[in-house]
Structure 1
Amino acid sequence: MRKAAAILGFILSFVLFSPTVNLAQEVYPNKPIQIVVPFSAGGSLDLSTRLLADKLKDVLGQPVLTINKPGGGQALGAGFVATSKPDGYTIYASSGATFGFQHALNPSVTHKLKDFAPIAAIGSFPSVVVIRSEIPVKTLKELVAHSQKNPGALTFGSTGFGGLNHLEFEMFKVLVQEKLNVKLDIQHIPYQGMAPALTALLGNQVQYCNLPFSSLVKKHDGAAVRIVAVCSPKRSPFMPETATAGEQAFPEMDGNNYFLNYSAPARTPEPILAKLEAAFEKVMREKELQDKIRQMDIQPHFMNAKDLQKWLEGQVARWEEVIRKANIVTK
């Protein structure tokens, strides 16, 4: 009996005090979670992430913080997350798949899509082509014609070198060359996020932008700026009067939709990823959050981790082809 009791005591002490089986260590989350936004504060991705984080804290039972890390065409924020501890406490926010193909633009960028584990996407919105209102341009073909008549007069502003709207601009240049045998003479000026790019457009520091559509852009449409095309297979319900790029002879640009998506570092344990995915899905069922996202002119749309992975892989392949054709390299 004494021997049996001694053995039982040893087993109980191992279970209670061994760090490998300490139940307290298995609880997730037990401290604040940070979501890294690779842009300056004030853009659609930043604002929608803050709305999401406020809801996630109630479901996960811990503070969810939004951290802005702009720079390097999103490479700074993406690299930070890719090299973070894969424990579920650092999440990357993106409006596309730039973090998956940055290495094709810049050899110094080491992270790739395989360095991230998708969690979910929460909403979609198209890219739009925006021109200063005093520029006599209402269509994409008129944009080409204006550039031909005024070589070097227009400047294009993006949310960062190698970002989606920069690549959309490069795609447009390639298509104009292929379809119309015209070489666009427009200088590219990168900014660190949507808010500074839109500010530059409103301040006439640049005259032309491809921007993710949001209430920030819509607010100025018809005043300081004019939306001349929506890059989506169908016209947007938020601006049904604006023709798609496909309706203007550039259907190749109609797949330039943005999905607000979130990923963790690769090798994050599956139970943690599953808990995060379930939390994202739960908060996205809330009508209040859906309505707030719609107010930003973003269409609420939950996409699970499996479907998000497929979408990201397709986007990486699509934009790596554009990078190759346009021969884009880091300057």
Structure 2
Amino acid sequence: MLEPQNLLPTFVKRLRFDQKLAIAVFIILLGLRLMIINSPSPEVKVVDGETRVEGGLVFDEAHYVPAVRKLLRGESVNHEHPPLSKLLIAASMLVFGDNPLGWRLMPSLLSSAAVALIPLIAYRLTRSRFATFFTTLLLATDVMFFNIGTIAMLDGPAFFFLLLGTYMFLQTRYTSAAIFFGLAFLSKTSIVFNVAGLLLFSFLAVYIRHGKILESVQNWSPLFEKTVLIGLAVFMAGLTVYDIGYGAYSNPFAHLDYMLNYHAQLKYNCTEYELPLRCTVVNQDGSTSIVDLPLSWISP
């Protein structure tokens, strides 16, 4: 009788634990996402002899799907966010059509691939199967990330490029890492905080080895400069191509200035707190709203 391990292809037997886990997680998550990718779907109604397509959009798909439709018509739109995630969704819609599959396939694919990078990163850091498995399990079973990563939003592509860059960074392939960080930033600007945290982590690692601030800075600064300069170059190059191609802005600096000013205005002032879960905000019309703070998102 053949043993189960003898039924596996040779290349699978040669894979490490983290690589096998990465493949399994990718297949499972992508399969689950594909099972529900058409839910919800738009409803086709005939009203007074006119065919209308209504609904089917989830959360911020209400903003991004119409924006991508305009991009496909050659119109520049949604300038407050960088364009790469929307262009990837546009490519998917060109292939599969203006339907839930076209909207959601690219984010679903890249979000699943992003989680598959977690075991590679965790094993690289810990060399522990236990830590690798449970780190992967935490993200793979996170309901919020699963939902956000399944719909047509910016987060899936951004998170994929961020984690791919992180994996390259841990392998000391800093040029490749910086390129992927630039692509992540070109997908969603908030990725800058993740990259800043990773650079701080790398500095602390250098400081632990040397024990002196000045010596640590001297050893760490080339890594910092390469990561930041190449990442920014990729971001600005991508923004330039978009602005020229769509006629959005005369130069990428004007586009970047608009993004920064736009997001600087998106703020709220809490008047009453129910720490650490929520706070009360007074709106411009005098009404009040309850804002759920991040800790409430993960509270049972």
The reply to whether TM is greater than 0.5 is no
Where is the helix percentage greater, Structure 1 or Structure 2? 2
TM-score, normalised by the number of residues in structure 2: 0.23
TM-score, normalised by the number of residues in structure 1: 0.22
